[in-house]
Amino acid sequence: MSIRKKLLIFVVMIVIVPMGILFVSSTVIMDTQKKDSELLYLQSALKIVRTQMLSRKDEMERGGQRLSQNPEFRALVQKNDTVKLSAELQKLKQVYNYLDIAVVLDNNRRPIARISEDIRDDKTWELNGLVQLVAERQSSLSSEETFPLAELFYPDSIDFIRFKIPIANRLDENGNQVFLTQCQIGLAVIPIMDATDAERLVGYLILGDTVNNDPYFPVAYSRSVEGSYLALSIDNIRISSNIQTPTKENYIGSLIPVTTRTLDGPKEYIFGRVDFNDEVHVFLDEAIVNHKGEPIATIGIGIPEKRFAQILSTNQYLIVGVTMLCLIIMLGIGRYFAGIITEPIAVATQFAERLASGERSMVLRPEWVKDQKSETSILLTTFQKMASSLEESEKQSESYLEKLEQEHVRQIELSSQLKVMNDELEGKVAARTFDLVQVIAELKRANGVKSNFLATMSHELRTPLSAIICSAEALIGRVFGPLTEKQEKHIQNALHSGNHLLQLINDILDICKIEAGKMNLMVSEFYISEIIENSCAVVRSLAARKNIDITVQIDPADFKVKADATKVKQILYNVLSNAVKFTPENGKVEIEAYQQDSAVQVRIRDNGIGIKDEDQERVFMEFEQVDNSYQRAYDGTGLGLPLTKKLVEMHGGQIFLISKEGVGTEIVFTLPIEG
């Protein structure tokens, strides 16, 4: 059978036969499609109303965020200015007139301002943990929640009465109407930060829109989806609804047809039909969840079944008509193109057979490749190019095999030469490695000799130097009589130089002890704030002479550290003295200490001369200062920061530097809290 006949049969099978089956089975399938279409229609409508509800909640949250970020509003919260805060809340309600709750809490979560006297201010507000969650995150949070009305409003107040729902056909034992006193509410809780310290929480702004007896969402939904109705319910009692039937309009307070207890989870839904006073409605109920993912209410939408049947019938007639028209057009087009498509394919098949048999010369007729963009023309042209390419490739393959054989011989020769060179190189490497091992051993011995020499000399120098310092101090104290101005000046210089030399010797001894592993830590528990204050007290006199302001911030203020208190004080003194030394007059030095999990981080920041990028790696090396110009302008031996680094690392901590020339320097180090 020719390919043309096969193509015609294929068109008939793919188009006519399925359409015949479709018409035969349409009656059976339509009932199922109708139910699926109803469900899909209601699911799409449900997305519309959920979008409206979430948009209002997001709008409420954004409005609250703008107000909470106003510096004047933050200042009012810090002052607990109830009158002005209430006025600000009234302005906010003028913009968002749907607000039922607008409350400002202090940092103890007690109301300090509200838009209505009906709102409770005699207790702390937790809102099912929402306020605590916002306090932990320090970012705003919006959610849909349910609460007893008595938690939000004073009982028997106007708002309390306005939001309680009379339950239909339910009386108590005394014959009085029973009310639902739960309310569904869209909430936004926004943190209010300190006007001067953006990291300190000073209060909360709570905004809420109560759904009970509020027709907004049902009416807005029915405008978007004409002829469809909406109901919101708590504990299976409708709290807001616009369901209408020929005999009744108000269904608020009535039971929903299927209770939410049949739901398996917050993402499940209930789909079915219910008879409202002889009018059948198709409905879809879905759970509304709170910020914990717990179902707290139900949203349900519905449409009279007869209205949906009209919509579905119209769509069915339209689909059948379009399908029949397309069927006729497709059969005509398929018949026409069958002849055009099949001829080049048959020619391509012949070409493939000739190519497989070894023929490489192929000629195309012009009418076969008239349309250069068609797939069949491209296929035939490709076959022709492939035949030419195969012929050329066969010739190249023969030439390549000859070259490959020659290259193989050459590679064997190179391999032999490489083996000889590798043997020679291994001998040289072994000899060089032996030399390096000897050099390293000699360097280690020399470094040990150096450390012992420095330790011995430093120890021997301290005894006469201490005598010199004591003698100078006795002379300055006029123990041996009065001094002339010139004598006092020279003795002061000698005392200053002696103390400087003694500090240098002590630093050298400490470094030598650390390198020799002979320095031990005397670990004890102490408040970090005490050590910082003691260290600041030592350098405040030098800072005062240069009018440098020293500020300290510790968070929390009373946490303890297990470490060597003397070594920690030495670390702080070395870094602080450097900060004061390299900070010009009228500058500032900032000290910050924070507890981070199991470590304490200390930051010491100045606005001094700073350090060039290329010099920053040298500051932790012994006897190094970053520039000769610094040595001329500032005293120093370059041992302070290297010793500080070794002391920090002895505690198991880390230290690093952040600096920019002309801006200032920041030293950051961490110490384990538990030692």
- What is the reported pLDDT for 614? 79
Give percent above pLDDT 70 in the chain.
74
pLDDT tens sequence across 458-482: 556 666 766 677 777 777 777 777 8
Token duo for residue 378: 């491209």
Order across the sheet with 549-555: list the strands: 549-555, 588-596, 599-606, 664-672, 654-660
pLDDT tens sequence across 378-392: 766 776 677 777 777
- CA pair distance 634, 609, nearest whole angstrom: 11
- What is the reported pLDDT for 227? 76
Compute, in degrees rounded to 10, the torsion defined by CA atoms 102, 104, 105, 106. Answer: 180
- What is the reported pLDDT for 144? 93
Which range is most confident: 180-184, 496-500, 505-509?
180-184
- CA pair distance 139, 132, nearest whole angstrom: 11
Average pLDDT over residues 597-612: 89
Which range is most confident: 93-97, 449-453, 473-477, 535-539?
93-97
Q: Beta partners for 171?
A: 177
- What backbone phi and psi angles, to 5 degrees, belong to 103? -130, 140
Q: Beta partners for 146?
A: 184
Which one has a higher pLDDT value, 546 or 4?
546
What count of residues does the chain have?
675
DSSP structure class, residue 244: -
- What is the reported pLDDT for 2? 57
Which range is most confident: 251-255, 406-410, 652-656?
652-656
Give the confidence band of 228 by pLDDT, cuts at 50, 70, 90.
Answer: confident
Average pLDDT over residues 395-423: 82
- What is the reported pLDDT for 623? 59
HEC string of 521-566 equals CCEEEEEHHHHHHHHHHHHHHHHHHCCCEEEEEEECCCCEEEEEHH
- What is the reported pLDDT for 490? 78
pLDDT tens sequence across 529-541: 888 898 888 888 8
CB atoms closer than 10 angstroms to residue 192: 24
> Is 554 in contact with 596 (CB distance < 8 Å)?
no
Angle between helices 71-79 and 3-68 (to 10 degrees): 50
- What CATH number matches the domain at 216-308, 3.40.190.80, 3.40.50.720, 3.30.450.20, 3.90.76.10? 3.30.450.20
pLDDT at 300 over 80: yes
Average pLDDT over residues 58-84: 92
- What is the reported pLDDT for 631? 46
CB atoms closer than 10 angstroms to residue 481: 6
Give the confidence band of 266 by pLDDT, cuts at 50, 70, 90.
Answer: very low
Least confident interval from 107-121, 182-196, 445-459, 508-522: 445-459
In the chain, residues under CATH classification 3.30.450.20 are: 216-308
- CA pair distance 247, 340, nearest whole angstrom: 68
Taken in order 518, 524, 526, 528, the sign of the CA dihedral is positive
Residue 217 CB burial class (10 angstroms; 0-12, 13-18, ≥19): buried
- What is the reported pLDDT for 141? 93
> Is 232 in contact with 252 (CB distance < 8 Å)?
no
Give percent above pLDDT 90 in the chain.
23
Give the confidence band of 333 by pLDDT, cuts at 50, 70, 90.
Answer: confident
Quote helix, strand, coil % in the chain, to nearest 5.
55, 20, 25
Residue 440 CB burial class (10 angstroms; 0-12, 13-18, ≥19): exposed
Name the one residue in this structure whose structure tokens are 């035969």.
Answer: 24
pLDDT at 113 over 90: yes
Which one has a higher pLDDT value, 112 or 14?
112
- What backbone phi and psi angles, to 5 degrees, belong to 370? -65, -45
pLDDT at 89 over 90: yes
pLDDT at 310 over 80: no
pLDDT tens sequence across 370-380: 666 666 677 66
Name the one residue in this structure whose structure tokens are 């028209």.
Answer: 325
Q: What would you report as the CA-atom Rg of the chain, rounded to the nearest whole angstrom?
A: 45
- What is the reported pLDDT for 383? 67
In the chain, residues under CATH classification 3.30.565.10 are: 522-672
pLDDT at 520 over 70: yes
Residues 6+ apart with CB under 8 A from 352: 383
Which one has a higher pLDDT value, 636 or 387?
387
- What backbone phi and psi angles, to 5 degrees, belong to 394? -65, -40
- What is the reported pLDDT for 16? 67
- What is the reported pLDDT for 429? 79
Give the confidence band of 448 by pLDDT, cuts at 50, 70, 90.
Answer: low
* 28, HSE (Cβ side, Cα atoms, 13 Å): 5
Least confident interval from 377-381, 546-550, 562-566: 377-381
- What is the reported pLDDT for 29? 61
- What is the reported pLDDT for 628? 46
DSSP structure class, residue 139: S
- Tell me which residue of 90, 85, 96, 86 sits closest to 61, measured CA to CA: 96
- What is the reported pLDDT for 183? 93
- Tell me which residue of 539, 458, 456 sits closest to 506, measured CA to CA: 458
Average pLDDT, the chain: 80
Highest CATH level, class, for 522-672: alpha beta
Least confident interval from 8-12, 46-50, 281-285: 8-12
- What is the reported pLDDT for 442? 74
* 290, HSE (Cβ side, Cα atoms, 13 Å): 16
Give the confidence band of 166 by pLDDT, cuts at 50, 70, 90.
Answer: very high
